[in-house]
Each structure stands twice: as C-alpha cells, then as structure tokens.
Amino acid sequence: MPDEKTTHFGYKQVPVGEKADHVREVFDSVASRYDVMNDLMSMGVHRLWKRHTVELAGVRRGQRVLDLAAGTGDLSERFAGIVGMEGEVVFTDINAAMLTRGRDRLMDAGVAGNLHYAQVNAEALPFPDNHFDCITIGFGLRNVTNKQRALEEMFRVLRPGGRALVLEFSHPGSLPLRKAYDLYSFSVLPALGRLIAGDADSYRYLAESIRMHPDQETLRTMMEQAGLERCDFFNLNGGIVAIHRGYKL
C-alpha cells in the first residue's frame, strides 16, 4: 500500500505536497504545443468530445459557467457564445503558462466581455457557495491531487439545479481495444511528444495518468459521495473517453 503521505504521479509515488509542482512542470513544458499535440493525438476527435460536453451541459443564455482546467479555452469559448453578454464564463487553470496561453488565444479570437480569467486550484475554489449554473472540467481531473475534494468543491459552488460535467480519458470496455490503446499510448504518444513538443516524458506521464484515473463506475460513485445526484456517464470511442454528469438538486 502506498504511504498515506504520498500520491501517484503517473506510475510513480511522490509526496502529496509535491504533485502539483510536478504537474505544473509537465504543462509548463507542453503549453506552447498543446493545441497541435491535442489534434495529432486524437486526430482532431477531441473537438467532437468537447462539443458533446457542451451539448450535455445544457447551458442557456444568461447563465454563469465555471470552466476548470480550461487549458487553451475550447470549452470556455463555446460557453461564452451561448450565455451571451447577460451571462458569465470564468476560465480557470492552476497552471500559469496554460492560463496565459488560453487567454491570449481567446483574446486573439475576439472573445471578451463575458469571459473572466483566474488561476485557481480545483481543490480550493475561491468562489462563494451556490454561485454557478454549470461547472466543467475537461481533461484535468486526473491531474488533481485530491480528486474527491475537488468534486466536493464543485458541488459547493454549484447552484441548486446546477450541473457538473467531467470530460476525461477513461477505461475502454473491450480487451482488444484496451490492448490497441495501450500500444498507442505507450509507444506512439511519447514518440509524438518527442517529435512535436521535444518532450517524450510529459506524454509518457499522460499515458500513465490515464491508467491511474478512476474507471467510469468509480468516478460516478465519487461524484455521488460529493453530493451530486442523478449521476450518469457517456462513453465515447468505446470508453477511451467518458463524460460524467451530475446535478445539485
């Protein structure tokens, strides 16, 4: 059993207090090539996954949305267009390099007015109770040190009637798909990372962090334990990715 004072960083055990720094180093390294690598790694399909997440969110004009681990802002950009000037989208990331990259991209795209930026830790959200109509975290929960605490914080700042969505790599259902996915993850991804981003280790961590992330049923249970209700999930591409959704009733 791992020491209670350690946690996983990929397949390695590190002190709990150091994981965030290790994750920061990964994203500091890949920030400049993040969008290019996302397109290459998923062959562009990540855009469809994010579009489906927005559809499941059911956000309406005038609502307030919190986008955690927003990266370069794909979800925030879509939400900003939906909620309009009467609404608000808060774009957040724990990593300063990613936050800057995303802010610059959205400013260049002309997205402004209803979009605000904040560097925050998902485990300690600096927002009042019952504040947001919708909260999303896309491909970020697996990097959080204490995932249960982050889910509890998401529940706390949700308004009654609000919903939380977790878009994340998950666990394929079929054995042949798992084997093919493992081969791709541990051979192709690090090679792409070395070729495009000059960093094979960060993409090796990516593959390992996915394997250490809770499976679909476990994550649903964690969301329920955080207080969310009517929790369900939607497998995409055979379970390589899953969207979990829960409500604060």
What pLDDT is attached to residue 34? 86
Q: How many CB atoms lie within 10 A of CB 106?
A: 22
pLDDT in tens, 209-245: 999 999 999 999 999 999 999 999 999 999 999 999 9
Structural domains in the chain (count): 1
4 has a pLDDT exceeding 80: no
State the Cα torsion 58-79-52-202 to the nearest 10°: -140
Give the pLDDT mean for 169-191.
Answer: 94
What pLDDT is attached to residue 1? 40
166 has a pLDDT exceeding 60: yes
Q: Is residue 194 included in any domain, yes or no? A: no
Cα–Cα distance, 51 to 49 (Å, whole number)? 5
Integer CA distances (angstroms), 104 to 38, 111, 239, in order: 18, 10, 33
What pLDDT is attached to residue 120? 96
Average pLDDT, the chain: 94
149 has a pLDDT exceeding 50: yes
Q: Is residue 1 included in any domain, yes or no? A: no
Give the pLDDT mean for 189-204.
Answer: 89
Cα–Cα distance, 6 to 18 (Å, whole number)? 9
Least Cα distance to 135 among 185, 88, 199 occurs for 88
Cα–chain center distance at 10:
16
Q: Is residue 159 included in any domain, yes or no? A: yes
Q: Is residue 227 included in any domain, yes or no? A: yes
Q: What pTM, to 2 d.p., does this model score?
A: 0.94
pLDDT band at 24 (very low <50, low <70, confident <90, very high): confident
CATH number of domain containing 48: 3.40.50.150
Q: Is residue 196 included in any domain, yes or no? A: no
Q: Is residue 181 included in any domain, yes or no? A: no
Structural domain boundaries, residue 24:
6-173+205-247
Q: Which long-range contacts (CB under 8 A, 24 or more apart) does 34-39 make?
A: 34/71, 34/72, 34/98, 34/101, 35/72, 35/105, 36/196, 37/192, 37/193, 37/196, 37/197, 37/203
Q: Is residue 36 included in any domain, yes or no? A: yes
19 backbone dihedrals φ, ψ, rounded to 5°: -60, -45
Q: Is residue 195 included in any domain, yes or no? A: no
87 backbone dihedrals φ, ψ, rounded to 5°: -105, -170
100 has a pLDDT exceeding 80: yes
Cα–Cα distance, 46 to 249 (Å, whole number)? 30
pLDDT band at 77 (very low <50, low <70, confident <90, very high): very high
